């Protein structure tokens, strides 16, 4: 099913006229994923990231003191793009009894999202930020495929 995130999947079912009890009983979890380009290992170099870029990306500007960001310079291996290959970022929502009950009660998606967060769910943006911090991809790349909340 096409949706921007796992929470939107619930709304899609409802918009299609599927009663909550029908899909809640059939689902164990919902997974959303996006692909981001991987920084080329052959031309990887430290990237200059500004305080403003981190603030616009809803990231802690103090990361500039503790973290070295990466980018690809572009080489023959990556066709001058600085990227080679892709990797997935994802979010997985387990349909726990609490979340199932909230869906059946037709609670607002904001409440369901909050409950999922309380139960330890990692959202797409959080996963994407992790990929930047571990040097897999760039800040610009994750800003193209995820939304700042």
CATH number, domain at 43?
Answer: 3.40.50.300
1 found inside a domain:
no
The yes-or-no verdict on residue 86 having pLDDT over 80 is yes
Write down the pLDDT at residue 22: 85
Say how far apart CA 138 and CA 32 lie, in whole Å. 20
Q: Regarding predicted confidence, which is higher, 5 or 44? A: 44
CA–CA gap between residue 100 and residue 29 (Å, rounded): 10
d(CA 74, CA 93): 37
Query: What average pLDDT does the chain have?
Result: 92
Q: What is the pLDDT averaged over residues 30-51?
A: 95
Whether 81 contacts 36, CB under 8 Å: no
Q: Is the pLDDT of residue 26 over 90?
A: no
Q: pTM of the prediction?
A: 0.86
Kindly state the average pLDDT of the residues 116-124: 94
Expressed as residue numbers, the domain containing 33 is: 6-145
- Quote the Cα angle for 15-36-83, to 5°: 155
Domain count along the chain = 1
- Asked whether residue 122 is domain-assigned, the answer is yes
Greater pLDDT, 90 or 10: 90
- What is the rounded average pLDDT of the residues 49-64? 92
* Res. 17: pLDDT tops 90: no
Domain annotation covers residue 82: yes
Tokens at 105, concatenated? 């009660």
């Amino acid at each position: 099913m096409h949706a921007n995130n796992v929470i939107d999947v619930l709304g899609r079912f409802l918009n299609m006229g599927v009663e909550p009890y029908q899909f809640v009983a059939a689902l164990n979890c919902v997974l959303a994923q996006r692909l981001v380009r991987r920084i080329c290992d052959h031309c990887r170099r430290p990237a200059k990231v500004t305080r403003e870029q981190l603030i616009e990306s809803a990231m802690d500007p103090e990361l500039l003191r503790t973290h070295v960001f990466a980018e690809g310079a572009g080489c023959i291996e990556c066709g001058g793009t600085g990227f080679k290959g892709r990797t997935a970022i994802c979010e997985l929502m387990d349909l726990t009894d609490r979340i199932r009950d909230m869906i059946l009660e037709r609670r607002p998606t904001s409440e369901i999202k909050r409950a999922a967060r309380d139960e330890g769910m990692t959202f797409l943006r959080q996963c994407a930020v992790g990929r930047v911090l571990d040097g897999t991809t760039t800040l610009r790349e994750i800003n193209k495929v995820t939304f700042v909340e």
